Structure 1
Amino acid sequence: MGGFDFNERLGLVEVKQVIWKALVAEVLGNFMLNYFGCMSCVAFASGTSHVVIALTFGLAIMAIVQSVGHVSGAHVNPAVTCAMLATGNITIIKGILYIVAQCVGAIAGSAFLKALTPDILQGNLGTTMLGKQVQPLQGFGIEFMLGFVLVIVVFGVCDANRPEGKGFAPLVIGLAIALGHLSSLNYTGSSMNPARSLGSAVISGIWNDHWVYWLGPILGGMCAGLLYKFVLSAAPVESRTEYSPVQLKRLDNKKEEDGLP
């Protein structure tokens, strides 16, 4: 009789294996995100538009997912990792190591950005902060929704029973990031990612309402992951019925072959 294997869920066996490549990929991914993404925020002080910032973060994520997704899954975000933990897609120890790697990469990326930016142009180095008149609880709600939309998109394109979407995963995830920035930059700075906010905060020394950028995306992401797993996930091909939306095209073609209207 099968039961819950604590050691398997904890990931003790997995730790004994070589997972350093995945951790390096997560460090590199967050390094690139904080370096390129926050660089566009620094440039904002010189007249860069919100659209440029949104596209920069979206394109950075697209490049990261395309380049290291096959190594670590390109979580590059504690909110995504926590959602994967909540749904049992990764082990506990691996999830913790991923989050540590993400934070290290983000801090290193922001530090590198500071080193290459003249003092007079640094500003707050892209640190996420609440907009004028935005209360912390409102900021939490906004970051909750940003984490929610990102993770539900990630789960959708990574669904094993929807192979048709995998080829577009980097683009779709990047566009989801751009969506979040286009909608919410003036509200919270559109973090969507606790590690990204941590990296900027550590290097700039600005910690205003920092809890918002951890609890919001993580709780939103976990809710999205659980919702997708138990309600929205695609059914295996062998269990789909004739009413399944993904079957309509095949059924229509079959009607044509049978000479039916």
Structure 2
Amino acid sequence: MQSQGTMCGSCSSDRPALCSASALTLPAAFPRFLSRCNCQSIMVAFKGVWTKGFWRAVSGEYLATLIFVLLGLGSTINWAAGEEKPPPADLVLISLCFGLSIATMVQCFGHISGGHINPAVTVAMVVTRKLSLAKAVFYVVAQCLGAITGAGILYLVTPAAVRGSFGVTTVNSNISVGHGLLVELLITFELVFTIFATCDPKRTDLGGSASLSIGFAVAIGHLFAIPYTGASMNPARSFAPALVTLNFENHWVYWVGPILGAILAAGLYEYLYCPDPEMKKRLKQVFQKDPSGKYREVEADDIAIKPRSIHSIDLEKAEKKDPFKDSTGEVLSSV
């Protein structure tokens, strides 16, 4: 029986080290090794991408992010800007608008696309093996395009006299860029940890609305961080107004901070605080100790499962057993 350790049909060996190409000199063997042994991994990575359900999910991410950015940025417009003494921005209004908007979009699109609506959340799903990297690329592109469309529509319908900074997130001049990066990391950590905790299928004590809990997490982050960094928590939300106004001052903060915070929150929740016991069980099935005390990879014929490597488990088994799937069978999660 041919195991999933086989790299491609043209390679007769289960392991790259035993591939017939290894007998060649390195300069000649390396390109052939890549062409032969990477083809299956590429095919697995793009498995499920060319399906109607997946493109429905991608379009859902585009539309959800469009509406979210349109409504959220709209709350930052100060219509009293033309007055002699315009009042300051209403932080509570902005925070509630962003929080309730994300809660509404998650409720509307959660069963269609998972309702990520945030590249940082999508990255968190990739690092916890709930979404393949190939699918994540399409998600992030759709989110950014949706955000740009939403910001563009708002820019067109808003009078130039009241656009102001147009909701562009900037680091407060009274703090350093490093401190701004830390603030973005912390508020995104709080958001992503909330997502994983409220959408954890292993919990039996959950009640109420997960989308509302996530909306509250966004609102809380804004209430705290608007004076510091404008409270992005979402690279697409910051990218759209920056592109429309061509203002990219310290823009990298709003990509690096949220992505690092999301990865940290997802990793801590998934692998430290609430690890999946099924994954540990599957690892024990694939790897066993030999007499010398070292772990060896178990042959496919010796165990009841087909994959022969953790890579195969992540892309095949994990997707099939992932509790975050929606009705289309895609590996998705909330917000």
Aligned length: 236
Give the counterpart letter for 1:140 in structure 2.
L
Q: In the alignment, which residue of structure 2 is the partner of 1:20?
A: 55
Does 2:201 align with 1:201? no
Name which of 168, 185, 195 aligns with 1:127: 168
Is the CA contact (8 Å cut-off) linking 2:269 and 2:275 kept in structure 1? no
Structure 1 length as normaliser, TM-score?
0.85
How far is the alpha carbon of 1:78 from its aligned partner? 0.6
Is the CA contact (8 Å cut-off) linking 1:82 and 1:221 kept in structure 2? yes
Does 2:209 align with 1:168? yes
C-alpha separation in 2, matches of 1:89 and 1:152: 15
Is the CA contact (8 Å cut-off) linking 2:270 and 2:276 kept in structure 1? no
Q: In the alignment, which residue of structure 2 is the partner of 1:104?
A: 145
Does 2:154 align with 1:113? yes
Where 1:75 maps in the other structure, the secondary structure is: coil
How far is the alpha carbon of 1:147 from its aligned partner? 1.3
Q: In the alignment, which residue of structure 1 is the partner of 2:105?
A: 64
Q: In the alignment, which residue of structure 1 is the partner of 2:72?
A: 37
Give the counterpart letter for 1:107 in structure 2.
I
C-alpha separation in 2, matches of 1:51 and 1:132: 22
C-alpha separation in 1, matches of 2:100 and 2:49: 32
Q: In the alignment, which residue of structure 2 is the partner of 1:188?
A: 229
C-alpha separation in 2, matches of 1:162 and 1:222: 21
Q: In the TM superposition, what whole-angstrom CA distance separates every residue of 1:85-138 from its partner, at most 9, and x where no partner exists? A: 011000111101000000000000100101110010111210101112121111
Give the counterpart letter for 1:13 in structure 2.
K
Is the CA contact (8 Å cut-off) linking 1:159 and 1:234 kept in structure 2? no
C-alpha separation in 1, matches of 2:114 and 2:208: 14
User: Comparing both structures, which one devotes a greater share of its residues to helix?
Assistant: 1
Structure 1 unpaired stretches of 5+: 237-261
Where 1:30 maps in the other structure, the secondary structure is: helix
Where 2:269 maps in the other structure, the secondary structure is: helix
Is the CA contact (8 Å cut-off) linking 2:196 and 2:269 kept in structure 1? yes
Where 2:75 maps in the other structure, the secondary structure is: helix
Is the CA contact (8 Å cut-off) linking 1:161 and 1:234 kept in structure 2? no
C-alpha separation in 1, matches of 2:224 and 2:269: 23
How far is the alpha carbon of 1:209 from its aligned partner? 0.1
Where 2:167 maps in the other structure, the secondary structure is: coil
* CA gap 1:197/1:9 in 2 versus in 1, 3 angstroms: farther
* CA gap 1:9/1:189 in 2 versus in 1, 3 angstroms: farther
Structure 2 unpaired stretches of 5+: 8-39, 278-335
Name which of 222, 246, 252 aligns with 2:263: 222
Give the counterpart letter for 1:41 in structure 2.
T
C-alpha separation in 2, matches of 1:167 and 1:105: 29
Is the CA contact (8 Å cut-off) linking 2:78 and 2:164 kept in structure 1? no
Q: In the TM superposition, what whole-angstrom CA distance separates every residue of 1:25-75 from its partner, at most 9, and x where no partner exists? A: 111111111111111111375544101100000000011000000011100
Summarize the alignment of residues 147-162 of structure 1 with structure 2, pairs less than 5 Å apart: 147-162=188-203
How far is the alpha carbon of 1:178 from its aligned partner? 0.4
How far is the alpha carbon of 1:7 from its aligned partner? 4.3
Q: In the TM superposition, what whole-angstrom CA distance separates every residue of 1:203-248 from its partner, at most 9, and x where no partner exists? A: 1111110000000000110011011111222767xxxxxxxxxxxx
C-alpha separation in 2, matches of 1:165 and 1:173: 13
C-alpha separation in 2, matches of 1:187 and 1:111: 25
Q: In the alignment, which residue of structure 1 is the partner of 2:309?
A: none
C-alpha separation in 2, matches of 1:163 and 1:62: 22
Same amino acid, percent of matched pairs: 39
Is the CA contact (8 Å cut-off) linking 1:30 and 1:76 kept in structure 2? yes
